[in-house]
Chains A and B, each alone.
Chain A
Amino acid sequence: MAKQFVITPSPHLKTKEDIGAIMRAVCLALAPAFIFALYRFGYWSIAVTAIAVVTAVVTEAICQRLRHVPYTVDDYSAVVTGLLLAAVLPPNVAWYVPFVGSIVAIGIAKHCFGGLGCNIWNPALMGRAFLQAAFPTEINSGTWPAAKGESLLTSIYTNINGSFDFLVESAKQVGADVITSATPLEQLTRVVDVAGKVEIPGAIYVQNGVIQVSNSQIFDVFMGNTFGCIGEISALALLLGGIYLLGKKIITWHIPFAYIATVALLGWILPAPYSNGEATAYTAWFTGPWLMHVVGGGLFIGAFFMATDMVTSPMSRLGKLLFGCGCGLLTIVIRIYGGYPEGVCYSILLMNTVVPMIDCWTRPRVYGTAKASCPKH
């Protein structure tokens, strides 16, 4: 019998970049952040990461087993979910927190909806939101591992935990109820007016209705010389990863750009509430510490890694821009006026909820027609 050739539908060329390649690139892009976490927080942070990743992969395999669908753990998507979940957990968290978080992320947020490609919400963030609701104290614990950095922020912080009396003393000295807390963003949400008196080194305070943040503080935060979650403290490391993803064209610039730009713009424009001793007052318009809003907290990991999650973001470019702007708006609103110092997680989840509608509004105009296509639903 003659040789049998293979018949496949066209096209006969396909990109080498399959799901696995994309996910591996994301893992690689996250590597600097985790290496920095290892340097900054020590081994337990990596142990937390490992727990999250392993649990995610095992949960994925179990779910696929239960659903009688082929195993696809080799596509690294569960690994990425585990890594992202660990990235938004505090470094000293108990072992069961990443464990439960990964199970919720993969088992409920992903496989209940049909697995990769069908989840409505970013699994890692859904896991994080679940943990926030289930273990609020563990997630927001104020005790951090001993820092290696030498910044002033560090010393203040150590003082808070080490000697409460000293803090009270210092506060008396400057004549204000200075409250500094773990992360720079938490400080931002609890700023007070020091009434023109001596500043406390490293603290963020209000003077003449304007929040005072020094460049060195911002630089510290940008470098990661601060407090925060495992993967999000170093904006620099995340930026490197983000640039790598952009360079490899894994993600497009639309979401990160729209997200960060909106946060910067609104962070600058909107007045923030603060305590002037007796009541809540508001800072002046157009004076916000926008740079701190950009480099602080989880904005970079959110903008480059979470919001750009393909499954849970819009498909068209216009939709991506809208999505990014929405995330930015919600992030700032939650950060400045909301009950949480950090708005990235919830803002992305909220915008994930809106994605089906954004996709519906931003359908491209079909070539040769005046309108976008509109299938019946």
Chain B
Amino acid sequence: MEQAVIYLKIIFAAVFVQNFVLSKFLGLCPFIGVSKKRSSAIGMGLAVIFVMTLASAATMLIYQYLLKPFKMEFYLDIVSFIVVIAALVQFVELAMRKLAPALYKALGIYLPLITTNCAVLGVTQLNLEFAKLNGITLTDCLLRSIVNGVFAGVGFTLALVLMAGIRERLESSPVPECMQGVPIAFIAAACMALAFFGFAGIA
């Protein structure tokens, strides 16, 4: 029960309260870039979930088995995480293209866009908080990181899909000329962020 509550809290926080786009303002590039159409937004969202999950797991292993034993966790985490994530995603993309062309068509093309995205790096950094908790087992830590990764991705997808819905509606609106395109998308993102303020303080 206690465990379930903890995980629920992690999930709720990852999706709503600490939404990567709307609360932490990370990953804005793919957020603005691929939110024009709902279909591509969903594809991008799935890709982000995939990469975040993978990155969470991989970096936590690196952290636990490489950085921590050699006491490098205070200065080498970001560098090593970037390298590992980038290579991993590249490799998965290569493999997916060959082995699962259908899946590649659905989300493979989004993968290179987010290999070194700050949102992905951000989630791995956040995961380190679990590693620093007292009395936490390795499996617990890994599990929490993965759950956090999955649902941070879900939160990102949520924001992306909502944004795509909004931008599709804006498409047919007489938005002032100087505001069309990216400017209004940023204003809309700001308004969304203001709305997401409502989740602030939910523990």
A residues adjacent to B (C-beta < 8 A): 66-67, 69, 108-109, 111-115, 117-118, 120-121, 126, 129-130, 132-133, 330, 333-334, 337-340, 343, 345-347, 349-350, 352-357, 360, 377
User: CB < 8 Å: which of B170, B194, B196 contacts A130?
Assistant: B194
Interface of B is mostly: helix
B191:A350 contact, CB within 8 angstroms: no
Check: B140 CB closer than 8 A to any chain A CB: no
Q: Which residues of A contact B165 (CB under 8 A)?
A: 354-357, 360
Chain B min CB distance to A142 (Å): 18
Given known contacts A333-B202, A343-B198, A357-B165, is B191 in contact with A121 (CB within 8 Å)? yes
Check: B66 CB closer than 8 A to any chain A CB: no
Chain B min CB distance to A190 (Å): 13
User: CB < 8 Å: which of A66, A338, A340, A353 contacts B195?
Assistant: A353
How many B residues face the partner with a CB closer than 8 A? 31
Check: B184 CB closer than 8 A to any chain A CB: yes
With the chains together, A108 CA to B187 CA distance in Å? 8
Given known contacts A108-B187, A360-B165, is B198 in contact with A133 (CB within 8 Å)? no
A350:B168 contact, CB within 8 angstroms: no
Q: Which residues of B contact A350 (CB under 8 A)?
A: 195-196, 198
B201:A339 contact, CB within 8 angstroms: yes
Contact pattern, B 134-174, Cβ under 8 Å of A = 1, otherwise 0: 00000000000000000000000000011001101111011
B200:A338 contact, CB within 8 angstroms: yes
B198:A356 contact, CB within 8 angstroms: no
Q: Which residues of A contact B201 (CB under 8 A)?
A: 338-340
Check: B78 CB closer than 8 A to any chain A CB: no
Chain B min CB distance to A314 (Å): 12
With the chains together, A157 CA to B176 CA distance in Å? 49
B187:A112 contact, CB within 8 angstroms: yes
A120:B169 contact, CB within 8 angstroms: yes
B191:A109 contact, CB within 8 angstroms: yes
Q: Which residues of B contact A67 (CB under 8 A)?
A: 176
Chain A min CB distance to B171 (Å): 8
With the chains together, A345 CA to B191 CA distance in Å? 13
Chain B min CB distance to A60 (Å): 14
With the chains together, A354 CA to B175 CA distance in Å? 20
Check: B192 CB closer than 8 A to any chain A CB: yes
Given known contacts A338-B198, A346-B197, is B173 in contact with A112 (CB within 8 Å)? no
Q: Which residues of A contact B84 (CB under 8 A)?
A: none
With the chains together, A115 CA to B187 CA distance in Å? 14
Q: Which residues of A contact B161 (CB under 8 A)?
A: 357
Interface residue ranges of B8-44 to A (CB < 8 Å)? 37-39
Check: B92 CB closer than 8 A to any chain A CB: no
Check: B203 CB closer than 8 A to any chain A CB: yes
Check: B188 CB closer than 8 A to any chain A CB: yes
With the chains together, A121 CA to B195 CA distance in Å? 9
B198:A126 contact, CB within 8 angstroms: no
With the chains together, A118 CA to B188 CA distance in Å? 12
Chain A min CB distance to B6 (Å): 15
Chain A residue at minimal CB-CB distance from B200: A339
Check: B199 CB closer than 8 A to any chain A CB: yes
Q: A112-B184, A360-B38 are in contact. List 12 more A-B contacts (CB 8 A).
A: A112-B176, A113-B188, A118-B173, A133-B197, A334-B198, A338-B202, A339-B200, A339-B202, A340-B200, A350-B196, A356-B162, A356-B169
Which of A132, A339, A356: most chain B CB closer than 10 A?
Answer: A356
